[in-house]
Amino acid sequence: MFSPDGRLYQVEYASKIVSQGTMGVACKYADGILFGADKKISSRLLLPDSIEKIFPIDDHIVAVSAGLVGDARRLVGIARQKAQENRQYYEESIHVENLVKEVSNLKQIFTQYGGMRPFGVSFIIGGIDNTGKRLFETEPSGALAEYHAIAIGKNKNKAMEYFEKEWKDNLSRDAAAKLLLKALELGLDEKEKLDHKRLQFMYIDSARKYTSLSADEIKGFFANKKE
């Protein structure tokens, strides 16, 4: 139901939980797209690798989530199924934009019918296909938009302001990593510090194949971020 002033409170509540999630970021660079995420580690007994923030969808498509992880996993499963069906039916990989619209359409349906609640998750979905490097954000409302660089989650606005000033065409992957690390720092609380042990990075390059950065590579980027 719409409120008298034209608002959908359930959708706004879903967006609220997204804004409380740890930050996810992504940007295009010269040869591909780099994705990064900060994992919330609530206990020293928790294994960081067990927390999912970045999800491969297909060889050439990756998603980053902010919000409810359970909702994210459900939508990622559906997206992976759509990607595999496209390969089976058409013998080619799915276009990034088509997959994003499938996910966004499903999100929108869950804002409209009784007995359903909106998905409490936003995604960054990016990849490389025949149309080039594509990078999108999908919101709980089903809205989508395409970007060169994007942040979701806690303190998103601070990171987006930073991207507006600092992102450039044809960044190297190393320069893109430094850019994302600084953005992730902006997503932290005032007294909180960024820890390389809870970071996750993945990229897709012109080979159209996702690759995860190792813990040592992330540590190297982290050590050199101020240079």
Higher pLDDT, 160 or 113: 160
Higher pLDDT, 196 or 201: 201
Q: What mean pLDDT comes out for the span 8-26?
A: 93
Q: What mean pLDDT comes out for the span 2-27?
A: 91
Residue 3, in any domain of the structure? no
Q: What mean pLDDT comes out for the span 1-23?
A: 90
pLDDT score, position 30: 94
pLDDT, one tens digit per residue, over 26-49 is 999 999 999 999 988 777 788 877
Q: What is the CATH number of the domain that holds 193?
A: 3.60.20.10
CB neighbours of residue 91 within 10 Å: 7
Residue 4, in any domain of the structure? no
**Among residues of the chain, what percentage have pLDDT more than 70?**
99
Residue 147, in any domain of the structure? yes
Residue 24, in any domain of the structure? yes
pLDDT score, position 225: 63
Q: What mean pLDDT comes out for the span 213-220?
A: 86
pLDDT score, position 67: 94
pLDDT score, position 63: 98
List beta partners, residue 34. Answer: 27, 203
Residue 69, in any domain of the structure? yes
Q: How many domains does the chain have?
A: 1
E strand map for the chain: 24-29, 32-38, 54-58, 61-67, 121-129, 132-138, 144-146, 149-152, 199-205, 210-212
Residue 136, in any domain of the structure? yes
Q: 227 falls in which pLDDT band (50, 70, 90)?
A: low
Higher pLDDT, 153 or 5: 153
Q: What mean pLDDT comes out for the span 181-196?
A: 87
Q: What mean pLDDT comes out for the span 155-179?
A: 94
Q: Are 92 and 99 in contact (CB under 8 A)?
A: no
Residue 198, in any domain of the structure? yes
Containing structural domain, residue 111: 9-39+46-223
Can you list the alpha helix ranges (DSSP code H) found in the chain? Answer: 9-18, 69-90, 96-109, 156-166, 173-186, 215-223
Q: 201 falls in which pLDDT band (50, 70, 90)?
A: very high
Please report the sign of the dihedral spanned by the C-alpha atoms of residue 60, residue 219, residue 155, residue 22: positive
- Taking the CA of residue 222 as centre, how many other CA atoms within 13 Å lie in the half-sphere pointing to its CB? 20
Distance of CA 30 to the CA centre of its chain: 19
Q: 195 falls in which pLDDT band (50, 70, 90)?
A: confident
pLDDT, one tens digit per residue, over 56-71 is 999 999 999 999 999 9
Q: What mean pLDDT comes out for the span 93-122?
A: 94
Residue 55, in any domain of the structure? yes
pLDDT score, position 162: 96
